[in-house]
Amino acid sequence: MPTFDDAKMRVKAKLGTAKKNKPVSASGTPTQIISGYCVLPIYLPAPVSTTGTSSDSEDEGGLKQTPVVHYLYIRKHETPGDNSSSRTLFVANLPIDATTLHMHKLFSTIADIAPSSIETVTFLPSPTGTSFQLIPSLSSLKGLQESEISQIRRILPTCSAAHVVFTDIKAMNKALGSLKFQQVTPPVWRLSDSVEQETEDANAMTGSARYMAIHKRRRISSAALQVTVDSFMSAYNKAETQRERDAKRARSMPDDDGFVTVSRGVGRTAVGTSSDALKAEAKKRQKKGELKDFYRFQIREEKKTRMNELLKNFKMDQEKIRELKAKRKFKPFSSKLA
Amino acid sequence: MAKRKRSESSSMVDFALARERDIENNDLNAEESGQVDEYSDDFDEDNDEEGDKSSMPESEENSANSLLAAESLNPGKVSKKKLQVSRLADDVHNIHEAIQLYKSNIFKMEIDELLAELKIDEDKTKHVDRILHKLKVIIESIEDSPELLLPDAEEMLSKSGISIPFPDPKPPKDAQYRFKYGGPSDYNVVNCYLLKTMIKSPERFGIDVVVNMPKNIFHEKDTLNYRYFHKRAYYLAYIASYLKSQKDLLFDMSYELLDGDHLRPVLRLESVKDGGEFDFHRAKCYIRIIPGISQDVFPLSKISPSRNCVRYSQNPAESLKPTPFYNSSILNDTYFFPGTVVLHKAAKSCDGFKDAMKLGEIWLRQRGFKSSIDGGGFGSWEWGMLMAALLQGGGAKGSRSLSKGFSNYQLFKATLNYIASNDFTETPVNTSKSPLGFDKGVFGGLPVLVNNDINLNLLYRMSVSSYRRLRHEASLTVAELDDVKGDHFDSVFLDKVDSLIYQYDFASLIKFPSFRDDKTYRDIGRVFNPSYYAYFTSKVYQILHWGLGERASLISTKFSETSRWPLTSPKPSSLGDGAFTLGILLDPENSERLVIHGPSAEDKAQAEEFRKFWGRKSELRRFKDGSIIESVVWEPHSERSIVSQIVTYLLERHFGEAIAKDITFVADALAKTFAEDMELGDGSAFTKFQKNLDEFELLRKLLIDIDDLPLRVSSVMPASPALRYASIRPPTKFSIECVHEFSDVVIELETSSKWPDDLVAVQHSKAAFLLGIAESIKDVDAAISTQVGLERDLVTIENFSYLDILLPSGYAFRARIQTDRESSMLRNYSIDKDLGLRAHRNLERNFSLAARHTTEFQTMCHRFPFLSPAVRRVKKWFHSHYLSPQVDDVLIELITLSIFLKPFPWTAPANATTGFLRTLYFLAYWDWRADPLILDVDNSLTISDVQAIRDTFKSLRNNDLEYSQTAMFVAVNYARDGTTWTSPNPSKVIASRITMLARASCEVLKTGNTIVSNNKSTIGRIFVSPLKDFDFVIHLKKVDHRPCLDVKYPPYDYVGLYFNELQTIFNGNVLLLRNALENDVIAGVWDPSILKARNWKVYLGYSTQPSTTEVANASDNNAHVRANIMAMVREMQRLGGDLISKIDVLK
């Protein structure tokens, strides 16, 4: 099953305590290319806290210590007529916990590119992922106390992609060049080479710490919520008033051809809605309706439709019985309890 | 040769029927012209219920004619159309008939199918006719034996290896009467084989051959002291020995009891499979040779049920009681052929009769009734006799209760109705021409049905218990048939009803004591009830009936006797498995009462009787109203219900300690498992719910009274399982020790037109209102703490805010606001229609419908006292199979409720364990693909409502043949769309898994067919889902909830949050399951489609790896990739961090 050289993986032992990875030059083998994308295998280590605390339980098996290979698909980003694109790499199939810092570290490892050479990393919204957000975003909250502001690492839906924009074409080409050939050992997906540093970094926060932080974020103080709501509402009202004013102006202003568009007022809807009115009208109409059994042909028609209805039901019933029979339903002694 | 065979076989029947024709001719003028009484009116009413339909028949035909006319005007196509037309006319006729004579069209078709299924293949029985004829010739050729005294007779037969099947008590060795065999005066095939009313079933059917013993072998006094039966036994043994001596006759012969009657053995002939002349094993039947007598052998008055025929006491001073059972057994021996004639006549005069007999038989069999004593003494023969009687009379002033024009279904239903609404013990049914020749009291509470002139009570083999059960089942079925809204065909005819596990609220298995130790039985008891098992169970019934009083609505005692033994050995005294089952239906209102009120102390005689009955348990007590009465007081016990205490005590007191010690309580281990579960077994759970509800009332008043907000709170509605007696854990006070479940409530504000037109703004305004409410609450009572919370990101069209309110009493609630405009705004959300609809569904589920359901379910829990404990047990089951996230609480509640609302063919459970078992049983066999579940909580749905729901279901299925949107469909009065709580979860996969798990659980629960296993570790298995079923399993650590001191940061279900994140991240690629109660694992199953290799594209929706290592060409656009399972699991692990102890990847 593994697409990777198994022997090589076995050589690679503990990842959490692995020695500092020097930027490795590419081996001689060219990289696998799929639909124009360079395939970059990376090691996905187990979370730091787990490997750190339970180094003695290696034999537990499971997934803990086994190196797991994840695959990134990278190519040059090209959009006709866009200058910046020429120094942008498109990276697909990111791990769910990818951050800008992860990307910095990755390129520094594979191509020795300094973080300063990367201008921006933009994570793209996945068209297949849901937009359902469980965590109130920091940007939508106002008036938070100092103690309430805590960073929560952003998690991407599976199979997300990013644009990595380099400061210049040279840096990008260097990165791209390093992708052409396979690495001796796949780079490790992490923020930092030192375990301690990684644990402290808020961006790496996982597990209970993460969920504690989310829990706290969701239970903000009344004061902060008040500020948030007030600021939203005043902005909303301002926008509303502006919209109303525009609409009013539009109503009184003749357009280019000198016509005034007649539009509905912005007044509140009255007690009765339009649908109520429709219903009432329909009712009225029904009451006034013609006599249904006045003419002979009406009676005949009525009978005919009823008759047909009956026959239709009969046919349906027959159909149902046939189905039930096919399911061997009418066997009284093959019952479930018998 | 073949031709001859046929003529032979038909002559066989002819000769039986020729006699019958004579009788018929004699009776020809006796045909009554009485009118059909109220039961036929009943059917007219039935038709009326169908609304317009009943008024239709006439117009139907007219229109059919006009249709015909219209079509025949079209000359070109006549020939082709004619066929269609005649078919159309046939259809019209069928519909017409079905509506008039049956419950509905479909019901008629179902009955037709069933009857076709029950039909015996007559080709296979033709061969048997020939054998029967041959047998007649052989028996008639047996030569008379000399008159012998007992020892000589026994010796003669023992030479040919035959033992005489004497009933108990056996004849004394020095008996002075002589035994003799004489050529039979008559030889006849009788009963079902002659009438052709037997039904196809896994059991082989019996062909009854009656050999009438000649008068000359009997003495006038042979009716006394078993002499008749002893001579009868000799006669049978003599035939057996002769048949055995026939070289070319090869039958597998044994003795058996006729319908379990210990006085009357018969000879059973089974086919041997040698392919020879007498091999009839293909016919799936056996032959019974029954010795009978004609009615002129004994003076009938001597064996009338009110006479004594057994001198059981030598004391001349003692007046001997009548021996109705004994006498009826002799009378029955004279009635084989006349009885068959009665049935045959009825079948000839009434077209539907034979089919109605078959319907009756199938109905009876599914309920465990047969003609034999252990089958309750009411089988197809009795059923047919009752129908025949009702065709003659039975109604008011001797009018007929059934009409000859009835369809088979009408006959069936009217007969059931007659059973249900008439008490044959109080008013015996007598359709003979003369008044009853005996007092109904001689049968001691047994039903009486007489349709003959010889005073034979056709129901003499029944017991009080079986008769009550028969009436109970009949009235249940009548209620089902009267229900025009549902099609109950399955539960009436197809489902096995007789089940100790599912049918009763209390069930147990009790060992019989040895009859040798029972002196009363041996001395006197067996005179009145020869079967020891029947004798003993009827005594148990009496005691329990008296002792349980109104706690029990039905007490059923059942035993089974195999009743066969070899020709070489004498009749054994008892022939069963040595145990009987006791099933009790409880009255939920009374079953758990602690005190039994007896007679007043002043009433000496009654008080004495009461004391004698209850023994040491009885005590004199003074009650609050000042009365001093005899009473019995029971202690509530966590593992033993009051009823089981009473049963155990009474059995011990009246039948000895040994019996009481050896009672096996059905589902006992299961009940104990529940009882040991701290959360479920807590007896005070109901009061805890009540406390929470009381506190909710306080909160409601508090919120309603707030008057310093722009809008007033118009209503506060409960919307949580904890507020409808349905949460597994009863609500507790808020604690910082563990994760607390806040009880959800929904606040409705008074209507206003001032809400913003934008959904996000509405949500923010709601948050502002919650803040205002919190502020006001603080002003009212500073002891109440509140905390706002956010459910999701604020940029949303859905509700994001809630308010936790912790009352001083410690009960905590979570309030959300519902506005009247939100619903329509979401439905018309034009920016993202799907999102809007999804949000709208969430709104209904979590707000308006949650509140509605909560109130309705509260009412149901009061109506069915055992609904609440049952539903909590069922939820426990769902949780332990890791289905928590996939199955909505409300869905489980509705399914369990359906067991109580539609218990057919049983009654609503009056015991939590029974409710649980029945729900599992329902889940195991519910064909959710084809059957919608429709609940009517207050009986307010009309037929057209139900039809409308069915149509919704049908169109839903037609639009989604793969069940990808909706698997289970559950509609209830307040959510008629049927999918509110079932779509998108549980998905088809989960629904199938539920079915599978429920079936497995049902299998585990039963050992054999009757009883729930009492092995605790076995029972434990139904709450364990094997983890190996999953692709991977994430084992979780027990999370240490950091101490939080107040309502601001209460302990939280972090795993739940982690779980939700995983679901969002891996949306659709993996099915995740967990047990929200235990939080021990998260189990996952990959969507199988992602495991296949696919063409690469950027957004495939899941993490991938190249499926080959070959370095592919850059232009290769068909490069294949497949899901990178290990990497995705690692991602989960990285996110879960310290929550996880280990991950097993199993596949």
- Under DSSP, the state recorded for B771 is H
CA–centroid distance for B660 within its chain: 28
Interface check A287 vs B, CB under 8 A = no
- For position B1007, what pLDDT does the model report? 57
CATH architecture of B864-1025: Orthogonal Bundle (1.10)
Verify that A190 and A310 share a domain, yes or no.
no
Name the least confident of A1-15, B112-126, B132-146, B647-661.
A1-15
Q: List, for residues B460-519, the tens digit of each pLDDT value.
A: 999 999 999 999 999 999 998 888 887 788 889 988 888 888 889 888 888 888 877 777
Q: Whole-prediction pTM value?
A: 0.85
The closest CB to that of B105, out of A69, A130, A317, belongs to A317
Q: How many domains does chain A have?
A: 2
Q: List, for residues A16-41, the tens digit of each pLDDT value.
A: 333 334 444 455 677 788 878 888 88
* Cβ separation A330–B110 shorter than 8 A: yes
Please state, in angstroms and rounded to a whole number, the distance separating the CA atoms of residues B294 and B292.
Answer: 7
Structure tokens at B515: 């009859």
Helix/strand/coil for B576: strand
Min distance A180 CA to chain B CA atoms (Å):
11
Residue A317 lies in a domain: yes
Structure tokens at B395: 């109604």
Residue A231 lies in a domain: no
Min distance A112 CA to chain B CA atoms (Å):
25
- Greater confidence (A174 vs B517) lies with A174
Kind and range of the H or E element at B602? none
Q: How confident is the model at residue B1108 (pLDDT cuts 50, 70, 90)?
A: low
Verify that A215 and A299 share a domain, yes or no.
no
Q: Which residue has the tokens 């057919």?
A: B904
- For position B816, what pLDDT does the model report? 95
Q: List, for residues B593-624, the tens digit of each pLDDT value.
A: 888 888 888 888 888 889 889 988 888 888 88
B838 contact partners, CB below 8 Å, separation of at least 6: none
Cβ-based contacts of A53 with chain B (< 8 Å)? 1138
Q: Is the pLDDT of residue B55 over 80?
A: no
Cβ-based contacts of A29 with chain B (< 8 Å)? 1111
Instruction: Report the interhelical angle of B1054-1065 vs A207-218 (nearest 10°).
Output: 100
- For position B993, what pLDDT does the model report? 92
Instruction: Give me the residues paired with residue B752 across strands.
Output: none
- The topology (CATH level 3) of B679-846 is Beta Polymerase; domain 2 (3.30.460)
The answer for A 171-210 residues in CB contact with B (under 8 A) is: 206-210
> Of the candidates B626, B706, B20, B799, which has an alpha carbon nearest to the alpha carbon of residue B340?
B20
Domain boundary among A220, A238, A268: A220
The closest CB to that of A307, out of B63, B925, B1109, belongs to B63
Strands (E), B859-1004: 933-935, 970-972
Min distance A207 CA to chain B CA atoms (Å):
4
Verify that A52 and A166 share a domain, yes or no.
yes
Residue A81 lies in a domain: yes
The CATH number for B500-594+634-666, chosen from 3.40.50.1360, 3.30.70.3020, 1.20.120.140, 3.90.180.10, is 3.30.70.3020
Cβ-based contacts of A211 with chain B (< 8 Å)? 1052, 1054, 1057-1058, 1139
- How do the domains of chain B map onto residue ranges? 47-102, 121-296, 299-311+320-498, 500-594+634-666, 679-846, 864-1025, 1028-1145
Verify that A203 and A300 share a domain, yes or no.
no
Verify that A66 and A197 share a domain, yes or no.
yes
- The topology (CATH level 3) of B299-311+320-498 is Poly(a)-polymerase, middle domain (1.10.1410)
> Of the candidates A214, A118, A313, A72, which has an alpha carbon nearest to the alpha carbon of residue B53?
A313
B215 contact partners, CB below 8 Å, separation of at least 6: B185, B293, B294, B296, B297
* Cβ separation A47–B362 shorter than 8 A: no
B218 contact partners, CB below 8 Å, separation of at least 6: B228, B231, B293, B297, B298
Verify that A11 and A131 share a domain, yes or no.
yes
The segment with the largest mean pLDDT, out of B30-44, B244-258, B777-791, is: B777-791
Residue of A nearest to B364 (CA): A332
- For position A51, what pLDDT does the model report? 43
Structure tokens at B317: 């001073």
- Greater confidence (B957 vs A260) lies with B957
Is B1028-1145 assigned to CATH 3.90.226.10? no
* Cβ separation B496–A335 shorter than 8 A: yes
Instruction: Give me the residues paired with residue B1105 across strands.
Output: B1122
A337 contact partners, CB below 8 Å, separation of at least 6: B495, B496, B499, B502, B1009
Name the percent of chain B lying above pLDDT 90: 27
Cβ-based contacts of A333 with chain B (< 8 Å)? 201-202
Structure tokens at B562: 């195999």
* Cβ separation A95–B1058 shorter than 8 A: no
Please state, in angstroms and rounded to a whole number, the distance separating the CA atoms of residues B789 and B772.
Answer: 14
- Greater confidence (A319 vs B695) lies with B695
Are both B864-1025 and B1028-1145 of the same fold?
no
Q: Is the pLDDT of residue B74 over 60?
A: no
Span A152-171, mean pLDDT? 86
- Greater confidence (B288 vs A256) lies with B288
- For position B75, what pLDDT does the model report? 44
The closest CB to that of B764, out of A68, A233, A268, belongs to A233
Q: How would DSSP label each residue in A138-157?
A: GGG--S--GGG-------PP
If phi > 0 it is left, if psi is from -120 to 50 it is alpha, else beta; for residue A278 that is alpha
Burial class of B977 by CB neighbour count within 10 A (0 to 12, 13 to 18, 19+): middle
Domain boundary among A220, A244, A260: A220
Cβ-based contacts of A329 with chain B (< 8 Å)? 490, 494
Domain boundary among A175, A199, A220: A220
Verify that A154 and A301 share a domain, yes or no.
no
Look up the ipTM and state it: 0.79
Residue A254 lies in a domain: no
**CATH code for the part of the protein at B121-296:** 3.30.460
Type of residue numbered A88: T
* Cβ separation A37–B493 shorter than 8 A: no
- For position B724, what pLDDT does the model report? 93
Instruction: Give me the residues paired with residue B985 across strands.
Output: none
* Cβ separation B1101–A141 shorter than 8 A: no
Helix/strand/coil for A291: coil
* Cβ separation B496–A336 shorter than 8 A: yes
Residue of A nearest to B96 (CA): A310
Verify that A59 and A150 share a domain, yes or no.
yes
- In a mutagenesis test of the B interface, which of A208, A311, A319, A323 is the best target, namely the one with the most B β-carbons within 10 Å? A208
| Chains A–B, number of C-beta pairs less than 8 Å apart | 330
Do B791 and B763 meet the contact criterion of CB atoms below 8 Å apart?
no
Instruction: Give me the residues paired with residue B586 across strands.
Output: B552
- For position A195, what pLDDT does the model report? 58
Q: List, for residues B783-807, the tens digit of each pLDDT value.
A: 999 999 998 888 888 899 999 999 9
Please state, in angstroms and rounded to a whole number, the distance separating the CA atoms of residues B121 and B130.
Answer: 16
Q: Is the pLDDT of residue B69 over 50?
A: no
Q: List, for residues B882-891, the tens digit of each pLDDT value.
A: 998 899 999 9
Q: How confident is the model at residue A174 (pLDDT cuts 50, 70, 90)?
A: confident
Q: How many helices (H) and strands (E) does chain A have?
A: 9, 6
Q: How confident is the model at residue B864 (pLDDT cuts 50, 70, 90)?
A: very high
User: What is the radius of gyration, based on Cα positions, of chain B?
Assistant: 36
> Of the candidates B511, B520, B522, which has an alpha carbon nearest to the alpha carbon of residue B576?
B511
- For position A279, what pLDDT does the model report? 66
Instruction: Report the interhelical angle of B1125-1136 vs B1054-1065 (nearest 10°).
Output: 150
- Whole domain around residue A188: which residue ranges? 6-220
Please state, in angstroms and rounded to a whole number, the distance separating the CA atoms of residues B896 and A249.
Answer: 61
Please state, in angstroms and rounded to a whole number, the distance separating the CA atoms of residues B194 and B207.
Answer: 8
Q: Tell me the average pLDDT of chain B.
A: 83
Residue A322 lies in a domain: yes
Name the percent of chain B lying above pLDDT 70: 88
Span B996-1025, mean pLDDT? 74
